[in-house]
Structure 1
Amino acid sequence: MTDATHGAPTVRTGTAQDLEAVLAFWSHAAEGTDRRDSEPALRRLIERDPEALLIAELDGRMVGTVIAGWDGWRCHLYRLAVDPAHRRRGIARFLLDTAEKRFAEHGGMRADAMVLDDNTLAHHAWTAAGYVRQPQWGRWVKPL
């Protein structure tokens, strides 16, 4: 986490007071419209893992998010989103670095990310951060 006085973002964990703002941010900055995001779902996330929702701020304004989920076995990354007006400034990388430090502190050995196939803009960000696509795996889902 860096010092905002030098124009760099700070990263903090999200709280229940942030839920409405995070949902509004995602509708503006995140890709994909088929999700069932809601305040109750986010509330469950932070109740289960209070450090999972990371929020990047610049001058007190939300400019990025990532969910850094640790289930005790695997490290999962979701909802990496950066405000379109603040992209290409290292905010995504800063969020990922923060998430990776969190994982390492818990003993995590590998992080994975769910990235939409059609979100080619995100592919560049993930590649730049050192992530690679695993062609041998496919995602299997069942709506509950």
Structure 2
Amino acid sequence: MSELTSALRIRAAGPGDLDAVLAFWRTAAEGTSISDDRAGVERLVSRDPEALILAELDGELAGTVIAGFDGWRCHLYRLAVHPGHRRQGVATALLAAAEERFTALGGRRADAMVLQRNETAHHAWGAAGYAPEERWRRWVKHLTG
């Protein structure tokens, strides 16, 4: 364990964290999501208060992951690490927390949403033991404008 990861505080986000999380994603996350707004993140935290996991270092956000479980599947979204803290174990610590959450809830397999163009993320996910599932393709229909 590196000095940085031993100093990390991993915790669930609360309602008071949401503006900071949205600002953090503008700096640290690749791409944007239709749900990257206050109302979307409020719904997430209201519906599943343990799903949005934060990594803090000295009181500042160092990383995030959304670990959603619908009772059937374990879904990972918004794994983002501050550019100044990448390749130092932050993502590994966040994924460990997410996987512990899933296991405690009875989850059997986790999947991750990873942009095809985000080669940096491909390496990070691969290092964490995840691999692309080539047999399936995600189909999407936007329900709002």
Please indicate the TM-score interval, normalised by the length of the shorter structure.
over 0.9
Are the equivalent residues in 2 in contact too, given 1:28–1:83 (CA < 8 A)?
Answer: yes
Deviation at 1:10, TM superposition (A): 1.3
- 1:34-66 alpha-carbon deviations (Å, 9 max, x no partner): 544111110100111000000000111100000
The alignment's TM-score, normalised by the length of structure 1, stands at 0.94
1:35-50 equivalence runs, <5 A? 35-50=34-49
Which residue of the partner structure matches residue 20 of structure 1?
Answer: 19
Change (3 A) 1:73 1:58: same
Which segments of 5 or more consecutive residues in structure 2 lack a partner in the other structure? Answer: none
Counterpart Cα distance in 1 of 2:73 and 2:18: 25
C-alpha distance in structure 1 between counterparts of 2:127 and 2:30, whole Å: 19
The answer to whether the 8 Å contact 1:67/1:78 transfers is yes
Q: Is contact 2:53-2:64 (8 Å) kept?
A: yes
Deviation at 1:90? 0.6
Over residues 85-122 of structure 1, what are the superposed CA-to-partner deviations in whole Å (9 max), with x where a residue is unaligned? Answer: 00000100110000000000000000000000000000
Partner of 1:142: 141
Cα distance, 1:5 vs structure 2: 9.3
Superposed structure 1 runs of 4+ greater than 6 Å apart: none
Unaligned stretches of 5+ residues in structure 1: none
TM-score (ref. length: structure 2)? 0.93
User: Is the CA contact 2:5–2:93 (under 8 Å) kept in the aligned structure 1?
Assistant: no
Percent sequence identity is 59
Q: CA deviation at 1:18?
A: 0.5
Q: Which amino acid aligns with 2:23?
A: A
- Structure 1 residue matching 2:27: 3-state secondary structure: helix
C-alpha change, 1:44 and 1:96, in structure 2 (3 Å) is: same
Q: Give the letter for the 2:131 counterpart.
A: V
In structure 1, what is the Cα distance between the partners aligned to 2:5 and 2:118? 31
Q: Residue 130 of structure 1 aligns with which residue? A: 129
Q: Distance in 2 between matches of 1:95 and 1:8?
A: 13
Q: Which structure has more RCO (C-alpha within 8 Å, separation ≥ 6)?
A: 2
User: Residue type matched to 1:111 in 2?
Assistant: A
